[in-house]
Amino acid sequence: MIVETKPHSLLVVGSVGLDDVETRAGKRSAVLGGAASYFSVAASFLAPPRMVAVVGTDFPAQHTALFEKHGVDLAGLERVPGETFRWSGVYSPDFVNRTTIETRLNVFSDFRPKLPAGWGASDLVFLANIDPQLQFNVLEQAGKPKFVACDTMNFWISGRRPELLRLLERVDMLLLNDEEARQLSGEANLPAAARSIRAMGPSAVIIKRGDAGALLFHEAGVFSAPAFPIENVVDPTGAGDSFAGGFMGWLARAGSTSPQSIRTAMILGSVLASFAVEDFSLDRFRTLDLSEIRERFAAFVDLVHFEKIRL
């Protein structure tokens, strides 16, 4: 059965930055990074997102051009005097540990997200990993979105807990990794952690486990999305944000946030994340096309396929 649905509009707020990154595969300086960058370009393969972010006057025009080429609506991308957000980090050879060398907020430190006219009526809102107070301010400007998802991190869980808890009362879904889920809930067991977090507000929780995939806990039960086994990982930066982009991009394209759409969205999130790690920065997305996404989606179908049996 094919139900024709109207696509949903999709808004993201988050960081756009320049990264210095070193992995076993090499080293890159001042390459495009930031959660909103990965999210937007990943989402763009499924539905064009609206970006709310800030960059400095040093932000290269080629990066803005990349966003435009992917149909990202940049009416909410402010350019202000000063330097763009910078992050630098190094991954251990086995990619298990990441050491942040330096974070310079630069123009991001005074960022007060402002939604352009009309964007308050966005159907879907993704609050990428920024200060929960800013995430809350964006929600205040949004009207009544059909679905709000947010990301967070250890830094905010410990340092901005009251603000984060206030935010969670108003979001439909929280995405976070396993360690963050344990930290937020105080529960070591992941199903118990998810249950505890769902009691804080979000009806759905996605726990990301890196190369072990992601788990969804919501009112319709549990769903396990595998990660695609990638032999040649080049740079894991942005994998989680690309997952979120593919995830929200599918919900926007499908015009649905039903439990079944959310499951399929997790697979598309995993698909986009699996491409993101195959090159530095957003480079893999530069050449990616829909036929490759289609092929990898089929590979995910095969990855978990088994015959039903009678016992």
Neighbours of 102 (CB within 10 A): 9
Q: Which residue number, 83 or 292, has a Cβ lying nearer to its own copies?
A: 292
Is residue 165 within the footprint of its own copies (CB under 8 A)?
A: no
* Interface with its own copies (CB under 8 A), residue from 163, 209, 278, 283: 209
Assess 93 for contact with its own copies (CB under 8 A): yes
Q: State in angstroms the smallest separation of the CB of 262 from its own copies.
A: 9
Contact with its own copies (CB under 8 A) among 267, 276, 277, 282: 267
Q: Are strands 17-23 and 10-13 parallel, antiparallel or unpaired?
A: unpaired
Backbone angles phi, psi at 176, to 5 degrees: -160, 165
Binding flag, residue 239, its own copies (CB under 8 A): no
The answer to whether 266 contacts its own copies (rule: CB under 8 A) is yes
Question: Going by C-beta distance under 8 Å and a sequence separation of 6 or more, which residues neighbour residue 204?
Answer: 172, 173, 174, 198, 216, 217, 218, 219, 262
Q: How far is the CB of 62 from its own copies (least distance, A)?
A: 28
Radius of gyration of the chain (CA): 18
> Quick one: which segment of 9-17, 135-143, 159-167, 296-304 binds its own copies (CB under 8 A)?
296-304
What's phi and psi for 235, nearest 5 deg? -160, 110
Cβ atoms 40, 52 nearer than 8 A = no
**Could you say which of 176, 205, 215, 252 contacts its own copies (CB under 8 A)?**
215
Q: Is 48 in the site for its own copies (CB under 8 A)?
A: no
C-alpha dihedral, 134 to 239 to 78 to 64, nearest 10°: -170
d(C-alpha 84, C-alpha 87), whole Å: 10
Cβ 48 vs Cβ 71: under 8 Å: yes
94 binding its own copies? (CB under 8 A)? yes
* 97 is an interface residue for its own copies by CB under 8 A: no
Q: Is 221 in the site for its own copies (CB under 8 A)?
A: yes
> Which residues contribute to the site for its own copies (CB under 8 A)?
93-96, 182, 188-192, 195, 209, 211-213, 215, 221-226, 229-231, 233, 254, 260, 263-264, 266-267, 290, 293-294, 297, 301-309, 311
